[in-house]
Amino acid sequence: MPTTPWSRPATRRLRPLTGITTVGAVTAGALLGMSGTGAAVLPAEQTVEDVPASVTAGSEVTFTGTLSGTGDRPLAGQQVDLQWRAGPGQPWSVSASDTTDAEGVAAIPATVDRDAQWRLRFAGDQVHDPARSRVQTIDSREPIGQRIVDTAAAQAGKPYSYGADGPGSFDCSGLTQYVHRQVGIELPRTSSDQRAAVPTIAKSDMRPGDLVFFDDGGVYHVGIFAGDDRIWAAPEPGDSVRLQDIWTETYTVGRAW
């Protein structure tokens, strides 16, 4: 829910502090700070490169910062809220809160599962004015395995053609090579070379987006695992790219991502 701004008493003159200005991942050591005087609000240093521009959906990002007052002295024991909103003009909601330590540092983890804007917010107290960080936008990307599946599904209905590697037609390994290339992964051209190029994954650990290789004394077919014992594949002449059942236990699994 959105933070309710603190309203200062009309009978008391307060000394303003600067806004918190940097949000980033804890491992990068980003800071957010306030430095001010009794007469003016001064900007603090910001390290924007420490903020992830995009993450895989479901990733945890820890936002960290230091709250300080006059003379850059840390403000300890203060509540700082991590807020998010879907986009400009949308209401802010509180994701989680933390209390600053003796150095004025707050560190708040959050799971990023959608595109959103984030900021750290200090609501203020009877001595210190409210302050907030600059808004930071993080794009939430679909997990790469699902991107591979979705890219393969987008080829549905395109005809099988021996030796074809897209985009208008495919053979089995031409499809897997093409799909992986669309998400930034290079694979060799043939199914046997692809099998040799990627590590083997246990069948119990296979996930959507993995490569399924069919072997009968040599690799003769490959597809992209879609879940539910099915693969996206370009099966054979006269057929087209489609979901195909895994019809045998004689296969191995590889992962290129």
pLDDT tens for each residue of 39-80:
334 332 222 336 688 999 999 999 988 888 777 778 888 898
CATH class of 24-141: mainly beta
Place of tokens 């990733």: 59
pLDDT at 255: 97
Q: Name the token pair of 56.
A: 């895989």
Query: Average pLDDT for residues 104-114, to the nearest whole number?
Result: 91
pLDDT tens for each residue of 221-257:
999 999 999 999 999 999 999 999 999 999 999 999 9
* Type and span of the H or E element at 232: strand 230-233
Question: 128: helix, coil or strand?
Answer: strand
For residue 177, count other CB atoms closer than 10 A to its CB: 24
* Domain map (residue ranges) of the chain: 24-141, 144-254
**Domain 144-254 grouped into CATH 3.30.450.80:** no
**pLDDT confidence band for 187 (50 / 70 / 90):** very high
Query: Average pLDDT for residues 150-163, to the nearest whole number?
Result: 98
Query: Average pLDDT for residues 104-119, to the nearest whole number?
Result: 92
pLDDT at 104: 85
Distance of CA 194 to the CA centre of its chain: 28
Q: Give the span between the Cα atoms of 154 and 170, in whole angstroms.
A: 13
Least confident of 7-16, 59-68, 162-171, 212-221: 7-16
Q: Name the token pair of 148.
A: 């591979």
Q: Which segment, 48-57, 100-109, 207-216, is predicted with the most confidence on average?
A: 207-216
**Which amino acid type is present at position 134?**
R
Q: Name the token pair of 153.
A: 């599904």
